[in-house]
Amino acid sequence: MASFIGMKQLLAILMIVFALPCFSQKKYEIYYQSETDENIQLTVIVYDVKEKQADSYASLYAIQSLIFDGIKGSKRRYLPYVQDEKQSFEEHSAYYHNLFDNGGFWSFIIASAIVEKGKTEKKEKYYVVNLNVNHKALKDSLSNHNVIRRFGV
């Protein structure tokens, strides 16, 4: 009998664990717009933030996506610059601290503008932000700080 109750509890826990992602709110979406040799234009939608913070969060998410996730839809197929996020954070914590916690990511943002704001069907606020990011300077910075290696080096 005791093992049956334990099995029920285990099943309940597993159901909760697997159901949570279905109900969790997304924080952002990133869409590729265009690019040049040095810059990439992105549209970022940020959810559940204050208007004053929308620009900052959109810029931060764009830089994080370029580094760790890549950008879908680009002609150049922007793959993530860093393949192992956890290991990279451990090895280059000072660089990432400066980049993310101290606002270093702003040095790679050429322009940003909130172009739309509204509420979702669930009454969640969202802001649409257009960004122009200097991806070449970001990649050069990662390389100069030995976070990534250039091909042939």
Can you give the pLDDT at residue 83?
85
Query: What's the pTM?
Result: 0.79
Give, for all 153 residues of the chain, the pLDDT tens digit: 444 455 555 444 544 444 444 444 689 999 999 999 899 999 999 999 999 999 999 999 999 999 998 888 876 666 788 888 999 989 999 999 999 999 999 999 999 999 999 999 988 999 999 999 999 999 999 999 999 886 543
Structure tokens at 72: 């879908």
Can you give the pLDDT at residue 71?
87
Can you give the pLDDT at residue 7?
53
Structure tokens at 79: 């793959």
Concatenate the DSSP letters of all residues of 92-136 into one string: THHHHIIIIISSGGGGGEEEEEEEEEEE-TT--EEEEEEEEEEHH
Give the neighbor-by-neighbor strand order of the sheet with 39-47. 28-35, 39-47, 125-134, 109-119
Q: What is the DSSP letter of 49?
A: -
Contact in structure between 62 and 44 (CB atoms under 8 Å): yes
Can you give the pLDDT at residue 75?
67
The whole-angstrom separation of Cα 71 and Cα 6 is 44
Q: What is the DSSP letter of 68?
A: I
